[in-house]
Structure 1
């Protein structure tokens, strides 16, 4: 991890996440619930920014699929016609936001790899990485939709 990112991570830390917005069961998932839900394992992965600059390598990852969190908060209860209009913003403690659509998460391979990480290389909620992290494993470059100290997931309807 770059020195600048390590300093930023130290000032932002999250071990819980709120799922908010138009879902019928908006709620906060605490540390214990997230650790129990973290059934997806992956790795190794290379995190690089959009320009191709190397950020870091990770050997093992464990996390919760975003779709599992959204479904726990009631996504599955919404009419499909409404879901097709939804935008999901995963927000980090520093204000960075990563965006997904319902279509992407539920109808493409991206959804299988969009994870809220709780463990990296055997370190649970690593302080140096801000605790909870977002990663989108099926993106071409893993850096742009990677966030540290994730504390909110906001579901909104797209209005034209």
Structure 2
């Protein structure tokens, strides 16, 4: 399956290059493009170290030191959720998109109404060392997932807010 067609991503080009910038778009009041430096100026959160394992086989990939970054909910709250109809936020999903087209989803309920939201971090540091575009920054990490690998996105280039039609 071609993920770019599935989530209507633009074709590869300069706007999808892993240059360390993150674009917040979609159903937001204040869409934004954030550099790594801008992320570093926001309130920080720290995750726990974890073992990265293959979701299907359980094979150990590597141990990941604690990430430091900004909570995804903080970024979304700063951008403001656009709700054109009453209850739109309850039907909202968020696509986190990597430079390679890999995409993962979160629901509004998951991020804002469960403990998961407190541990979804857009990271700019790992194990006390700064990350840069060459080392995969920014990195999205979902710290409360039972298996962290499927929602571990390196070279995160976009977060898109969408309201699902019923």
Larger CA deviation: 44-53 vs 148-157: 44-53
**Partner in structure 2 of residue 57 of structure 1:** 63
1:69-108 correspondence to structure 2 within 5 Å? 69-75=75-81, 78=83, 81-108=87-114
- Cα distance in 2 for partners of 1:119, 1:80 equals 38
Question: 1:48·1:55 contact (CA, 8 Å) conserved in 2?
Answer: yes
> Do the aligned partners of residues 132 and 39 (structure 1) sit closer, same or farther apart at CA in structure 2, a change above 3 Å counting?
same
Larger CA deviation: 58-67 vs 140-149: 58-67
- Cα distance in 2 for partners of 1:54, 1:123 equals 23
1:100-137: CA deviation from partner (whole Å, max 9, x where unpaired): 00000000111011111110112212455412111100
1:4-15 correspondence to structure 2 within 5 Å? 13-15=18-20
**Partner in structure 1 of residue 50 of structure 2:** 45
Once the two structures are TM-superposed, the CA of residue 143 in structure 1 deviates from its matched residue by 0.1
SS in 1 for 2:165: coil
Larger CA deviation: 93-102 vs 124-133: 124-133
Q: Tell me how many residue pairs correspond in the alignment.
A: 148
Larger CA deviation: 37-46 vs 108-117: 37-46
| 1:17 has 2:22 as partner | yes
Root-mean-square deviation (CA), in Å? Answer: 1.8
1:119 maps to which of 121, 125, 136 = 125
TM-score (norm 2): 0.82
5+ residue gaps, structure 2, are 1-16
Question: 2:27·2:161 contact (CA, 8 Å) conserved in 1?
Answer: yes
SS in 1 for 2:96: strand
SS in 1 for 2:149: coil
5+ residue gaps, structure 1, are 1-11
TM-score (norm 1): 0.85
